[in-house]
Amino acid sequence: MGIKAALPRYELYLYSAVLAGALIWAGSWIFEASSDNVNRKAFKEGVKPGWHYFGRKMDVADFEWMMWFSTFRNHILFALTGHVIFAKIFTLLAPKHRPLIFAAYGGLAVLVTMGWTFMTLVVSHCVILYSIALVKKKWMCFAAGLGTLASIKLEPYNTWQETLVTGSFDLQDILFYGGCGFSIMRCMSFALENCDRKEGNYTFSDLLKYNFYLPFFFFGPIMTFDRFHAQANNTQLTRKEREMWNITTKALLHLGVILVVDVFFHYLYILTIPSDMKLVNKLSDWCLAGLAYSNLVYDWIKAAVMFGVINTTYVSLPPYEFLDLTSRHLTVWYVYDYIGESHDKIFKELLATVCTFAITTLWLGPCELVYIWSFFNCFGLNFELWVAKFFSIPPFSIMEGAMGEAMSRRIRGVFNAANFWAIVLYNVLSLNSLEFAKLVGRRIIFKGFPLSTLSVLLVTYCGVQLVKERERQQALLEDPDPVKPVDDGKEKAE
């Protein structure tokens, strides 16, 4: 289907109205459930006093969000501001030594935060994986990297290593597993890129510069070593036109989103309500659908904001190409894309997804919930390809070719709407709980059929078409004339 498959403007307005109305309606149900149950015992831990001029309590169930933008906000801002200041100073004074200074600042910040035993543990991981990298065998790099990753995820090795962290504070577990996990993944990237280097090896100091770059260290995102090395060692620093304006605009945008989300949490307790199954069982189908949908969208927004805040510190290394959020883990580059190649072959895609989610399961920590989440994600990616292949064979391909592009887009939108709700359900597993996901699926798909099921799919279909329209317009901006014109000489000859 081409990007010129435009729908009538009145139809898009209708989709917008239906989607807006449904979101307001579902939001009103969630608001009512939040207001009527604010003093429940089950809400004691997840709902705390909020901004005092609102006069309402606030949903604080997401520890990660509260850590970044409330509890430890000043500590994080202090560390990242120091990074930016150091970057600016040494960019002017000694641009050739910037990566070394970044690593020294990052290493000092890690040492002060976590102690010398944790620092020693991380450096020991670097030494082990650097030694394997010198052999230049990819399978050995993968085996060593995954083995090291397993040592911090599986008993009894993870408990032993965790005891090496001295002291006790609220972020200890998160910083330990985040720091060690991302460090190992970066070491794997370094080792795999070293295997591809034709002459010689990268140095151990190159690995340390990459690993201890502070904005990456504890929470990612992960940039592959080859991209980081090329950009960090670029001494020809030039700013794009209006780059500082764009950085400032994005920073203000992220600040605005943070404030909107915090206000939102004062009125809609979307994170705390799903944890109270007694209450959830009493809610309407619309309220359940709204909770499931809003949790997924919130998770996307959170990831975009957190990575966006980190991105604003990269003014020390212009120009930067930032990662797509789906590429947070290195398995996307080194496993999924490597094995799956163009992702249009059924067996290769199956092998790529199985390998990718096997590694992701190890990364997240093997348990029942992660197994279920990985299985359904793996199945979903393959099912999309199976459906596409099925409809690419006659007579379906002939039927689609005979109909207009707009009608083809409408029909595909129906399948996309069903697929989106599959994504919602198996991601709610990890965002909330298995019990909540099962309840939403049972109520929306089975007990609510046909009214709730078809209503939710209709609203989702409207949202899908609006997203596709935005993608179409963006594609036209990037390539206003995607169809190449016929050669004049050939046309005259015909």
Is 356's pLDDT higher than 90?
Answer: no
Residues 6 or more apart whose CB falls under 8 angstroms from that of 98 comprise 87, 90, 91, 232, 316, 317
- At residue 47, the 3 state secondary structure works out as strand
CA distance 299 to 64: 11
Of 366 and 494, the structure prediction assigns the larger pLDDT to 366
- For the stretch 339-352, pLDDT in tens is 888 888 899 999 98
Provide the whole-model pTM. Answer: 0.84
Predicted local distance difference test score (pLDDT) of residue 287: 95
Q: How confident is the model at residue 491 (pLDDT cuts 50, 70, 90)?
A: very low
Is 480's pLDDT higher than 80?
Answer: no
Q: How confident is the model at residue 239 (pLDDT cuts 50, 70, 90)?
A: low
- For the stretch 65-92, pLDDT in tens is 888 888 777 777 788 788 778 777 877 7
Burial 348-368 (b: 16+ CB within 10 A, else e): ebbebbbbbbbbbbbbbeeee
CA distance 133 to 118: 23
Give the number of other Cβ atoms within 10 Å of residue 78's Cβ.
12
Provide the 8-state DSSP code for 446. I
Can you read off the two tokens belonging to residue 407?
Answer: 């009608």
Give the distance between the most distant pair of CA atoms in the chain: 82
Q: How confident is the model at residue 288 (pLDDT cuts 50, 70, 90)?
A: very high
CA 135 to chain centre: 33
Residues 6 or more apart whose CB falls under 8 angstroms from that of 307 comprise 220, 221, 322, 323, 325
- Using the structure block, give the residue that is written with the tokens 């006790």: 168
* Average pLDDT of span 135-158: 87
User: What number of residues does the chain have?
Assistant: 494
Q: How confident is the model at residue 363 (pLDDT cuts 50, 70, 90)?
A: confident
Of 6 and 491, the structure prediction assigns the larger pLDDT to 6
Region for residue 139 given its phi and psi (left: phi exceeds 0; alpha: psi -120 to 50; beta: otherwise) = alpha
**pLDDT over 90 percentage in the chain:** 35
CA distance 84 to 269: 36
- For the stretch 164-205, pLDDT in tens is 665 555 667 778 888 888 899 889 999 999 998 988 999 999
CA distance 281 to 439: 8
Predicted local distance difference test score (pLDDT) of residue 315: 39
Predicted local distance difference test score (pLDDT) of residue 318: 35
Can you read off the two tokens belonging to residue 344?
Answer: 């249009």
Is 268's pLDDT higher than 90?
Answer: yes
Is 244's pLDDT higher than 90?
Answer: no
Q: How confident is the model at residue 367 (pLDDT cuts 50, 70, 90)?
A: confident
**pLDDT over 70 percentage in the chain:** 87
Predicted local distance difference test score (pLDDT) of residue 176: 82
Can you read off the two tokens belonging to residue 428?
Answer: 């709610």
Predicted local distance difference test score (pLDDT) of residue 70: 81
Identify residue 464 by its one-letter amino acid code: V
- For the stretch 29-68, pLDDT in tens is 999 999 999 999 999 989 999 888 888 999 999 988 888 8
CA distance 105 to 444: 52
CA-angle at 135, arms to 131 and 137, nearest 5° = 120
CA distance 492 to 476: 29
